[in-house]
Structures are given as C-alpha cells and as structure tokens.
Structure 1
C-alpha cells in the first residue's frame, strides 16, 4: 500500500473553510449603509452623533444638511451616495489637480 503523508495544516484549513469558520471571501458592506441602520433612535433623522458611525459622514454633515437644522433627513442622507466612492470606505475627497508646468525660456 502506497500511503501518502497527510498535511495536518492543510486538513485543518480545509475543514475550517468548509465549516464556515473561515470565510472564503470577505463580505462587503454596503456604503453608505441604509438610513434606518444609521438612525439609531429611529426619530427619522440622523444626528451629528449618529453620523459618527459612518466613516466620512460627520465630515460632510454640514454640506449634506441643506436646511441647516443640524441633522440629516432621509433625502439629505441620500445625497451622500453622490459623494461616496463605488467601493466602500467613505466619501472620497475631490481629486487633486497638479499645477500646470511652467514653461522655461532658457
């Protein structure tokens, strides 16, 4: 009988992945999260304090708060999607344009 050695780490890894202990692929979180997930007290608005739970949102609160009441309505929150990149991580800053080259007359 020709027995081949078994790799214990390989077997453990296969068992862990197969049992769901180790994820094969990381689950991607939606950005921005649903309004109802951020509105923790369910009052219909996202306060400055609640906005801290979403990366980048507190920095854009003043920009998004169109009526200046210090909180975001569902409509105002939807505007975050225009600032958010396609892949999570919060709003991306405006691109930096390098200065134009200066012609040199030698």
Structure 2
C-alpha cells in the first residue's frame, strides 16, 4: 500500500471517529435537556444505577445469601416471607367519562 492510501485511510478513520464523538455529544445534550424538561432520567443513567446497585449487592453477599434477604421491587423493599399477595387493585370506573368518537371506516 502506498503512502497516499495510508494517509487517506487515516483521514477516513479520523473522520469516522469525529462523527461518532459528535453523535455522542448530540445525544448527551438531547438527553440532558429532556431530563431537565420532563424529569425522566435517561435510560443510560437508569441502567448504570441498576448495575451499581447489583454490584454493591454482590459485594455484600446478596446473591449467595438466598431469597430471605429480600429484594427491591418497584414499590419498595419486599421480603420473600410476605404473606399478602395483591392480585388486583381496585379503581373507580366513571360512566360519564369522555370517550373517543367511533372510528370512521376508510
């Protein structure tokens, strides 16, 4: 391979790297603005927090200790010895609630 082709390939690789870094920077700005406006954390932050919690739990022996340690669910800390099971949650259905109009056939 001659030196012109090597320079061309190096510039092509550099351009790809710059485009990749620019894309990551744009996503970071977008995710941060969305986080500030909506209050929803970016998925990357949520995954990283779960990974950190799992790593900390593993260091404390949480995986070897068995299910009696309990687990952190969507509604808080639960133990494996809970006797209460909630199958259905009740909510009121209002008859006069606004409904969508019927769909028109195409």
Query: Between Structure 1 and Structure 2, which shows a larger proportion of helix residues?
Result: 2
| TM-score normalised by structure 1 residue count | 0.27
Higher relative contact order, chain-length normalized (CA < 8 Å, sep 6+): 1
Q: Bigger radius of gyration, 1 or 2?
A: 2
